[in-house]
Amino acid sequence: WDVKRLAASFAVDALSRNLGDKAARHLAGTAVQAYRRHMQELTRLDPLTSWRSRVDVADVLGGIPDEKLRSREMIRLRIATEAGHAGYPKLIEKVKGQWRIKEKPPLIFPLSGQRDNTHEIVARTAFESYKLSLPEERRILLDRYELADVAFKAVGVGSVGTFCAIGLFVTLDDQTLLLQLKEAQTSVLAPYAGPSVYRNQGQRVVVGQRIMQTVPDLFLGWTEDRGDDQHCYVRQLKDSRLALIGADLAEGALPYHATLCGVTLARAHARSGDPARIAGYIGTGMAFDNAIVSFAVAYAAQNLADWRLFLEAIKAGQIGVGDA
């Protein structure tokens, strides 16, 4: 499932850039081959070494073939990691001496100070209950911060219809921390793999991330089940400048990006499953690669055909489009 999604993503990207079917097949194959080869490498390590293996961002950027792109991304990484609470200059501001989350419609709306404070209460209560899911030492760390403001945050296409909020936490000496509260829904794999052993879907998401991530988020946790079937998990809000590094790789070094994604996915699967069994199943030949690539290319072609039909329907007036 994950490998199919990975390969299809690169095939779709290639066609969306008008790179052609050959490039789509090459990029999808690059990602799958990197996954297969790295899984084989992990089987040769003892379990502890395999578990501790990680992808270092600085090492990744140092391997970018293009010198100009490599230099620019190394500078961007240094700035982002040294920024501290200034890492979110576009999201927070001081109002009358107090830190507040900026209103940025249509993406971010403040919940504090609204006439109807229902959503503010829900967000604040959720952030408070989530602390119980943290290990004791991380709870002590978070207790050094106080929740100063909450805001609603618009979600991406894959999470439309779910609740998402930002919490701004501040220390006594004015250091800030932004946490994101996201609603967790039942896994799309549940109809095929069976229900999760965790009734709380937020807990399911967090446990999975803690297993697969070599350096998990310090503040990753879930909210207590209030009996309303709205389960949430909490994580640090991602620094948009770090996200831009991935976007730049996708833009300027697609084959390298495909290799990196394949390696990263292999490490995640090796932590959550048995790398020897996975490697044994996919083998050392090209049969697995070819099967996944064929799926990815067919998926990308269907995706492009659907997009063209969508545009034709808009042009014919069958689908209304509002002003952006």
The count of domains in the chain is 2
In a domain? residue 77: no
- Residue 166, beta-bridge partner list: 151, 180
In a domain? residue 59: no
Q: What are phi and psi of 259, to 5 degrees?
A: -60, -45
Helix (H) or strand (E) run with residue 94 in it: strand 92-95
Pair 2, 193: CB distance under 8 Å: no
pLDDT by position in tens, the chain (length 324): 899 999 999 999 999 999 999 999 999 999 999 999 999 999 999 999 988 887 777 777 777 777 887 787 777 777 666 655 555 667 898 999 899 999 988 889 989 878 888 889 989 999 999 999 999 999 999 999 999 999 999 877 666 668 899 999 999 999 999 999 999 999 988 999 899 999 999 999 999 999 998 777 899 999 987 666 789 999 998 765 555 566 666 666 788 889 989 999 999 999 999 999 999 999 999 999 999 999 999 999 999 999 999 999 999 999 988 765
Domain boundary among 209, 238, 267: 238
Range of the domain at 272: 2-52+253-313
**pLDDT of the residue at 159:** 65
45 and 186: one domain? no
Q: Which two tokens stand for residue 26?
A: 């090459």
15 and 108: one domain? no
In a domain? residue 141: yes
Q: What are phi and psi of 234, to 5 degrees?
A: -125, 140
In a domain? residue 11: yes
Q: Which residues of 159-178 are buried (b: 16+ CB within 10 A; e: fewer)?
A: eeeebbbbbbbbeeeeebbb
Task: Identify the DSSP state of 131.
Answer: G
* CA–CA separation, 187 and 173 (whole Å): 41
* CA–CA separation, 179 and 128 (whole Å): 12
Model pTM score: 0.83
DSSP assignment of 10-67: HHHHHHHTT--HHHHHHHHHHHHHHHHHHHHHHHTS-HHHHHH----HHHHHHT-SSH
Four-residue CA torsion sign, 13, 15, 21, 22: negative
Helix (H, G, I), strand (E, B) or coil at 148: strand
Q: What are phi and psi of 92, to 5 degrees?
A: -130, 155
163 and 284: one domain? no
First to last CA, the chain: 34
144 and 188: one domain? yes
Number of helical H runs and strand E runs in the chain: 13, 8
